[in-house]
């Protein structure tokens, strides 16, 4: 089995089309077809079901793809380690993050990091909570910024960067918009704007409402933080959002109001694999994140 065969196989599996894979690889279609045929012959199993010009993975093909993607990630990491060994300050950081990190937290951290290491490059990958955990496990990325930080995940190691409050975002004409703080159950009759199922922020806010005696009326759902803010600003409902997402970015027709009963908090942290060492440049950034947020927390106090 050759490395070239694995690369061709992964590209065909991703595109489910031999011609498109060949074009992406900048090789002849016949070369791709021949290498896939040789790979199947060597393994003694069919990896694809042919359907005209299209192909799709067999059950064994899906299993093989999962292992080969992880193997290629290991190989690519090894090559990057060699490249970065002499100059870690010129490497590339592969990091994943959730939507609530996108507008302020991650850009602020990266900006501060590049003051010290201006030649470092970043490959940014936004994903859903459980998707990011899977990416770290598979080696697609080596670092993920998550909130809340998973308590126990096999083969993973997480460390808390800081704790943040969940606050209420209300339309400016809401009856509680001028309050200095509110109790959560004061919103029991309001229409809520929630994140979709699968988002941890939805679970946190839903649980808080239920523990305080009411089932929220979920009128709208949005997977994007800016979309949720926009719906609140348009007067379509109220939302519970991480306070950090409102730094320098509160919609014009909305207001932020702290919640004091209960005080809803979540951990924000960074997740890495216990089974793989961080690449040299990524290790620099991992250490920097902890120092950066420790200093920021001390400054805020």
pLDDT value at residue 116: 92
How many C-alpha atoms does 97 have within 13 Å on its Cβ side? 18
pLDDT band at 55, cuts 50/70/90? confident
Q: Is the pLDDT of residue 128 over 90?
A: no
Domain count, the chain: 3
pTM equals: 0.69
Q: Which two tokens stand for residue 182?
A: 């509110």
Q: Which two tokens stand for residue 215?
A: 């089932």
pLDDT, tens digit, 9 for 90 and up, residues 61-109: 888 988 888 888 888 877 777 776 667 788 889 899 988 888 788 999 9
Helix (H, G, I), strand (E, B) or coil at 16: coil
Cβ–Cβ under 8 Å, residues 242 and 105 = no
Q: Is the pLDDT of residue 232 over 70?
A: yes
3-state secondary structure 185-243: HHHCCCEEEECCCCCHHHHHHHHHHHHCCCCCEEEEECCCHHHHHHHHHCCCCEEEEEH
Output the domain CATH number for residue 93: 3.40.190.10
pLDDT, tens digit, 9 for 90 and up, residues 169-200: 999 999 999 999 999 999 999 999 999 888 88
Closest CA to 222 of 245, 244, 189, 188: 245
* Residues 139, 286 within the same domain: yes
- Answer yes or no: is 80 within a domain: no
* Residues 261, 282 within the same domain: no
Q: Which two tokens stand for residue 132?
A: 């990011």
Cβ–Cβ under 8 Å, residues 127 and 146 = no
Closest CA to 289 of 108, 201, 161, 176: 161
* Residues 149, 168 within the same domain: no
* Residues 28, 59 within the same domain: yes
The CA distances from residue 151 to 78, 158, 159, 268, in Å, are 29, 8, 10, 12
Q: Is the pLDDT of residue 277 over 80?
A: yes
Q: Is the pLDDT of residue 152 over 80?
A: no
pLDDT value at residue 99: 83
Which among 71, 104, 122 is the end of a domain? 71
- Answer yes or no: is 82 within a domain: no
Other Cβ atoms closer than 10 A to 222: 19
pLDDT value at residue 180: 95
pLDDT band at 214, cuts 50/70/90? very high
Q: How do strand 143-146 and strand 156-171 relate by DSSP bridges?
A: unpaired
Q: Which two tokens stand for residue 280?
A: 């040299």
pLDDT value at residue 104: 84
- Answer yes or no: is 77 within a domain: no
pLDDT band at 145, cuts 50/70/90? very high
Domain of residue 9, residue span: 3-71
* Residues 105, 133 within the same domain: yes
User: CA–CA separation, 271 vs 274, rounded Å?
Assistant: 9
pLDDT value at residue 84: 67
Other Cβ atoms closer than 10 A to 166: 21
């Amino acid at each position: 089995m050759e490395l070239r065969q694995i690369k061709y196989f992964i590209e065909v599996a991703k595109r489910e089309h031999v011609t498109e894979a060949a074009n992406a690889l900048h090789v002849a279609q016949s070369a791709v077809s021949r290498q896939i045929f040789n790979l199947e012959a060597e393994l003694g199993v069919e990896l694809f079901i042919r359907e005209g010009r299209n192909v799709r993975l067999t059950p064994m093909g899906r299993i093989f793809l999962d292992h080969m993607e992880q193997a290629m990630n290991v190989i690519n990491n090894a090559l990057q380690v060699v490249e970065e060994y002499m100059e870690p300050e010129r490497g590339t950081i592969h990091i994943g993050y959730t939507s609530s990190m996108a507008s302020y937290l991650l850009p602020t951290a990266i900006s501060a990091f590049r003051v010290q290491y201006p030649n470092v490059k970043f490959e940014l990958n936004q994903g859903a909570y459980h998707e990011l955990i899977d990416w770290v496990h598979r080696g697609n990325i080596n670092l993920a910024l998550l909130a809340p930080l998973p308590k126990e995940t096999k083969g993973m190691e997480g460390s808390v960067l800081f704790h943040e409050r969940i606050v209420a975002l209300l339309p400016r004409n809401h009856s509680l918009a001028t309050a200095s703080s509110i109790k959560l159950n004061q919103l029991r009759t309001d229409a809520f704007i929630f994140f979709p199922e699968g988002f941890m922020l939805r679970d946190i806010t839903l649980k808080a409402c239920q523990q305080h005696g009411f089932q929220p009326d979920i009128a709208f759902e949005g997977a994007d933080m800016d979309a949720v803010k926009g719906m609140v600003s348009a007067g379509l409902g109220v939302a519970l959002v991480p306070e950090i997402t409102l730094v320098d970015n509160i919609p014009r027709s909305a207001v932020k109001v702290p919640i004091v009963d209960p005080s809803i908090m979540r951990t924000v942290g960074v997740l890495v694999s216990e089974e793989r060492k961080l690449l040299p440049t990524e290790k620099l950034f991992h250490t920097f994140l902890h120092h950066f947020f420790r200093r920021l927390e001390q400054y805020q106090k």
